[in-house]
Amino acid sequence: MKKLTFILLVLIATLTACDQGNGELIGVQGRPDWYQPVPYGMLLIPQGSYTMGNTDQDVPGARLSKTKVVSVASFYMDQTEITNNEYRQFVFWVKDSIARRILGEEVSEEEYLNTINVYGEDIDPPTINWQSRIEWREIETKEALEVMFLPDYERFYNIKQLDTRKLNYEYFWINYRSAAARKNREQGQIDRSIFIKSDVINVYPDTLAWVHDFSYAFNEPMTNSYFWHPAYDDYPVVGVSWKQARAFSIWRTQLLNSFLRRRRMQDVQYFRLPTESEWEWAARGGLDNNQFPWGGPYIRNTAGCFLGNFKPMRGNYVDDGGLQTVKAYAYNPNDYGLFCMAGNVAEWTSNAFDEAAYDFAHDLNMDYSYEAKDSDPPSLKRKVIRGGSWKDVAYYLHNGSRTYEYQDTAKCYIGFRNVMSYLGRPENNEEY
pLDDT tens, position by position, 235-279? 999 999 999 999 999 999 999 998 888 888 888 889 999 999 999
- Inside any domain, residue 397: yes
- Collapsed DSSP state (helix, strand, coil) of residue 87: helix
Q: Which residues does residue 316 pair with via DSSP β-bridges, in sequence order?
A: 313
The answer to whether residue 415 is domain-embedded is: yes
Percentage of residues of the chain with pLDDT beyond 70: 90
Say what the pTM is. 0.90
Query: What are the φ and ψ backbone dihedral angles of 90, each rounded to 5 degrees?
Result: -65, -50
**Would you say residue 161 lies in a domain?**
no
Are the beta carbons of 128 and 113 closer than 8 angstroms? yes
- 163 is a domain residue: no
Which helix (H) or strand (E) element contains residue 90? helix 84-106
pLDDT tens digits for range 379-390: 999 999 999 999
Name the 3-class secondary structure at 389.
coil
Q: How far apart are CA 193 and CA 182, in angstroms?
A: 17
Among 84-93, 132-141, 207-216, the range scoring the smallest mean pLDDT is 132-141
d(CA 397, CA 324): 15
CATH number of the domain residue 235 falls in: 3.90.1580.10
Q: Are 357 and 279 in contact (CB under 8 A)?
A: no
**Residue 222: how many CB atoms within 10 A of its CB?**
20
Q: Please indicate, yes or no, if residue 47 is contained in any of the structural domains.
A: no
Where in the sequence is the domain holding 288, given as residue range(s)?
A: 59-79+206-426
Q: How many domains does the chain have?
A: 1
Average pLDDT over residues 64-93: 93
Q: What burial class does residue 133 get, using C-beta atoms within 10 Å of its C-beta: 0-12 exposed, 13-18 middle, 19+ buried?
A: exposed
pLDDT, mean of residues 218-243: 96
**Stretch 191-203: mean pLDDT, rounded?**
92
Angle, helices 84-106/242-262, rounded to nearest 10 degrees: 70
**Is 386 inside any structural domain?**
yes
The pLDDT-based confidence of 398 (bands split at 50, 70, 90) is very high
- 122 lies in some domain: no
Run of H or E residues at 421: strand 419-421
Q: Does some domain include residue 410?
A: yes
